Amino acid sequence: MTPVSPAAAAVPRFGLIVIGDEILSGKRQDKHLPKVIELLGARGLRLDWARYVGDDRAAITEVLRQAFASGDVVFSTGGIGATPDDHTRQAAAAALGVEAVLHPEAKALIEQRMREVAAEQGVPFEPDRPDNVHRLNMGVFPVGARLIPNPYNRIPGFACDGPGGGTVHFVPGFPVMAWPMIEWVLDTGYRAHFGQSRQRERSIIVFGGIEATLTPLMERIEAEHPGVKVFSLPSVDHPEWGRHIELGVKGADAAAAAAYEAMLDALRTMPVRLGPELVR
C-alpha cells in the first residue's frame, strides 16, 4: 500500500464528514462521531468539527470542496460503494476538479477479493462477467488518490490532498471496516503528533448562579490564561444535582490547573454554593 502523505509540522485540526440519507432520516444511528473522538483521544488528539450530509452529489461535492480547502485532516465515512446512491468518489473528483479513474492497485485488490470469493463458493472466477466488471467501480478514484487498506475485505479506501492543504481520507460507512482503516491512517500518517493535543479538563458544580453573572469571570480567566478555554454547561433537571451550572476549564495540564485555581478563588467570593469537583 502507498502510505498517506506526511503530516505537517504543526498539530493539524481534525474533522469528520458522515455521509448517508439513512443517518439524516434516523433509519440508522451514527456511530462514527463518538468512535472517532475515542480514536483521536486515545492518541492525544481531538476532533475539531463534524458535518453530516445526505446522499446528494452536489451537496457532498460542496462539503468536500470546503474540506479540501480547510487545511485540516478530515475523515469521510460512507458513499464509496458502487450502487446508484453512492456518490462520494465522484463528488471527491468534482471537488478537486480532476477525473475519476480506475486505480491500478485498487483494481488488483478488488480482483483478488473476487477470486477469493469465487474460490470460497467453488466456482471459477470470471473477470468479464458483468457483475464483476461493475465491482471494479469501487476502485475508481480521483486522479492522484492514495489507497487506504481495508483489513476486512481488501476493498480499499482512498485519500486525496486538496489545493488548500486539506487532506480527506475516505472510508466505507461500515464501522467494522471504517474504524480500523481510520486507525491505520492515524498510526501511519500522524504518529508524530500523538499527545500534542492532549488536554486536561477540570470543572466544578455551581449552585445558585446564572450564566450572565458568571460570564465576566469566564472572560477574565480566558484573557489571563492564554491557551485555556472556559466552558459553562447549565442543567435544569439533573437527577442528582437538579438545577446547576458545571463551570470549568480545559487546556494543557499546567495551564488548566492554574486557570482552575484562579477560577475557584473568584467563585469563593461570589454568592454561589459550590458542589463536587470533576477532573477528566
Predicted pLDDT at 166: 97
Residue 6's pLDDT band (cuts 50, 70, 90): very low
Q: Where a domain ends, among 162, 193, 224?
A: 193
Predicted pLDDT at 9: 54
Percent of the chain with pLDDT strictly greater than 90: 88
Question: Is residue 55 one of the residues assigned to a domain?
Answer: yes
CA separation for the pair 96, 10 (Å, rounded)? 24
Counting every residue, how long is the chain? Answer: 280
Question: Does residue 169 share a domain with residue 236?
Answer: no
pLDDT digits (tens, 9 = 90+) for 147-195: 999 999 999 999 999 999 999 999 999 999 999 999 999 999 999 999 8
Question: Of the candidates 12, 26, 9, 14, which has an alpha carbon nearest to the alpha carbon of residue 182?
Answer: 14
Question: Is residue 66 one of the residues assigned to a domain?
Answer: yes
Question: Is residue 99 one of the residues assigned to a domain?
Answer: yes
pLDDT digits (tens, 9 = 90+) for 103-130: 999 999 999 999 999 999 999 999 999 9
Q: Where a domain ends, among 128, 162, 193?
A: 193
Q: Where a domain ends, among 159, 193, 227?
A: 193
pLDDT digits (tens, 9 = 90+) for 232-259: 999 998 888 999 999 999 998 889 999 9
pTM comes to 0.85
With 0-12 / 13-18 / 19 or more C-beta atoms within 10 angstroms meaning exposed / middle / buried, residue 23 is buried
Predicted pLDDT at 259: 96
Question: Does residue 245 share a domain with residue 153?
Answer: no
Question: Is residue 257 one of the residues assigned to a domain?
Answer: yes
Residue 199's pLDDT band (cuts 50, 70, 90): confident
- Domains contained in the chain, number: 2
Question: Is residue 3 one of the residues assigned to a domain?
Answer: no
Which range marks the domain in which residue 150 is found? 14-193
Contact predicate 40/75, CB 8 Å: no
What is the mean predicted confidence (pLDDT) over 210-236? Answer: 94
Question: Of the candidates 241, 251, 249, which has an alpha carbon nearest to the alpha carbon of residue 266?
Answer: 249
Supply 196's cell numbers: 500534542
Question: Does residue 225 share a domain with residue 183?
Answer: no
Question: Does residue 220 share a domain with residue 268?
Answer: yes
Predicted pLDDT at 146: 98
Give me the chain's average pLDDT, please.
Answer: 93
Question: Is residue 8 one of the residues assigned to a domain?
Answer: no
Question: Does residue 70 share a domain with residue 152?
Answer: yes
- CATH number of domain containing 33: 3.40.980.10
Question: Of the candidates 180, 168, 181, 99, which has an alpha carbon nearest to the alpha carbon of residue 140?
Answer: 99
Question: Is residue 275 one of the residues assigned to a domain?
Answer: yes
Q: How many Cβ atoms sit within 10 Å of the Cβ of residue 42?
A: 11
CA separation for the pair 63, 81 (Å, rounded)? 19
Question: Is residue 9 one of the residues assigned to a domain?
Answer: no
pLDDT digits (tens, 9 = 90+) for 48-82: 999 999 999 999 999 999 999 999 999 999 999 99
* List of residues 6+ apart from 224 with CB closer than 8 A: 259, 262
Predicted pLDDT at 5: 44
